Chain A
Amino acid sequence: MKYNWNWGIFWEQSPEGTATYAQLLINGLQWTIVTALCAWVIALAVGSTIGVMRTTNSKWANAFGTAWVELFRNIPILVQLFLWYFVLPEVLPKAWGMALKQSPNAAFYTAVIGLGFATSSRVAEQVRAGIKALPRGQTMAGTALGLNTAQTYRYVLLPMAFRIVLPPLTSEFLNLIKNTSVALTIGLLELTSRARSMQEYSFQVFEAFTAATILYLVLNVIVVAGMRMLENRVAVPGYTVGK
């Protein structure tokens, strides 16, 4: 049983126009990165809001936050993407639905929103845990200084809470990068999808997947190193977080 290895395949022209296979994979990597970054912005913004809501005293904010987290956490990401991609345009008013379907980058926008919201539930849990990990005295100190609730969160609680949850947020970001590959099912041409089409065109399946594997590993290492640097930069002297 023999497999014909051909590592030179990366420099051969792909059937898709003018690019070599290597260029296609790099292009896929770029889409993976851009999608993950855009979705991360949504996940951080929405997730922080929901996380904060779940630590307030308001019953409604708590209930809404809990419902949000449970909803997005208990449906598989693939199904969520299908809901955004296939179902949303149908239940919107006709004109909006058509606009969504005909948008040239529909897969990209859907992936960003779908992955962003899905990840927001996980970010919310982390942010909530970070705020809850702070001593109660911090809220009281804020109140004693004459800060209102918003100011207490902005100047006292959140800066410390985010520092505490930086490591788990790093792994959520890594998960998000990996999850962008699920978007190949709605036609996003990200790294795994490119490796798959390289395999279909050239039949050099193991070269294609090896390259994708290495690129994912490198991406992982870079993100982990970057977040380490960020952790060290923002560390508050004398307040050792998690070490």
Chain B
Amino acid sequence: MFSNFDFDVIARSWQYLFFDGMAFTLMLTLLATIGGIFVGTILALMRLSGIKPLEYFANFYTTLFRSLPLVLVIFWFYFLLPYIGAWATGATRPMQVGAFNSALITFTLFEAAYFAEIMRAGIQSIPKGQTAAGYALGLSYWQVMGRIVLPQAFRNMIPVLLTQTIVLFQDTSLVYVLSLTDFLGAASKVAQRDGRLVEMYLFAALVYFIISFALSRLVKVLQERVAIVR
């Protein structure tokens, strides 16, 4: 069945695939996860702040992004960001944002909506008595959140946050629609250059599978650890 296939194409292109493509994918995943958790935590705090306008905003934000396909959001930001940049800097021409920055901002803001829901659950999993105890000791809101609630919320939510990171890792393949050279983009470019679609896409699937599968095993281990500590 594979007699007329040429798997040598992988050996010829692996440096490009991994040093260009996978490096881009991992960089985007890592930065968007950090940014997404940061923005998501702020959204979760807004949602639970008890201040109506903030609550409405956070609610609107998460509902909007969770209702839209990521592909559409990628297109939105790709065309919108140059205008926002120009508006912010007062320039008369659309700003050059750059494909990587555009993708990074898109994924950060999009995944923030999902991370926000996770962090909200995490914050709500901390017993009310702890917050009350913090205030009784005279701590401010930020001290209570920063020193008591959020560290525990993060800890409890690490497995879920990591699961969402795996989703994010797989989602980054969608930058293909902007013709960026992430891992899939690199595989696809080699595939079309050498006419080796079958080999390259099978290989790409295998690599994505191995990484996602390994990470999901890690999540299982972490889940048990977190459970035992509690």
Contacts and interface: CB of A to CB of B under 8 A. Distances in A.
A75 B69 contact: no
B152 interface: no
A83 B76 contact: no
Contacts, number: 107
Contacts of A77: 170
14 contacts: A1-B92, A74-B212, A74-B216, A75-B208, A76-B173, A78-B176, A79-B173, A79-B205, A82-B201, A83-B205, A86-B198, A90-B198, A216-B68, A217-B64
A218 to B, nearest CB: 10
A225 to B, nearest CB: 13
Given A178-B69, A216-B69, A74 B213 contact: yes
A180 B70 CA distance: 11
A145 interface: no
Interface in A173-197: 174, 178-182, 184-185, 192, 195-196
B184 A79 contact: yes
A72 B122 CA distance: 28
Interface string A23-61: 000000000000000000000000000000000000000
B68 A213 contact: yes
A184 B87 contact: no
Interface residues of A, number: 38
Pairs A-B, 9 closest by C-beta atoms: A74-B212, A181-B69, A1-B86, A76-B170, A178-B69, A76-B173, A181-B71, A86-B197, A220-B67
B177 to A, nearest CB: 6
Contacts of B197: 82, 86-87, 90
A3 B83 contact: yes
A206 B152 CA distance: 42
A217 B66 CA distance: 10
Contact of B184 (A1, A78, A217): A78
A212 interface: yes
A149 B44 CA distance: 46
Interface string B199-213: 001101100110011
Given A74-B213, A79-B204, A179-B69, A209 B79 contact: yes
Given A1-B91, A74-B212, A209-B76, 8 more contacts: A3-B83, A74-B209, A80-B205, A82-B197, A181-B71, A181-B72, A182-B69, A209-B75
A207 to B, nearest CB: 11
A86 B201 contact: yes
A206 B84 CA distance: 13
B12 interface: no
A209 B80 CA distance: 10
Contact of B79 (A178, A179, A206, A213): A206
B217 to A, nearest CB: 10
B72 A75 contact: no
A192 B69 contact: yes
Contact of B83 (A1, A76, A78, A80): A1
A182 B174 contact: yes
- Which secondary structure characterizes the binding site on chain B? helix
A84 to B, nearest CB: 10
Contacts of A192: 69, 71-72, 75
A91 interface: yes
A70 interface: yes
Contacts of B80: 206
Question: Could you say which of B2, B72, B79 has the most chain A C-beta atoms within 10 Å of its C-beta?
Answer: B72
Contact of B93 (A1, A78, A91): A1
B134 interface: no
A59 to B, nearest CB: 20
Interface string B40-75: 000000000000000000000000100111111001
A76 B93 contact: no
A180 B202 CA distance: 22
Interface in A83-119: 83, 86-87, 90-91
B67 A217 contact: yes
A118 to B, nearest CB: 11
A190 to B, nearest CB: 9
A83 B201 contact: yes
A62 interface: no
B229 interface: no
A98 B110 CA distance: 40
A174 B86 CA distance: 35
B20 interface: no
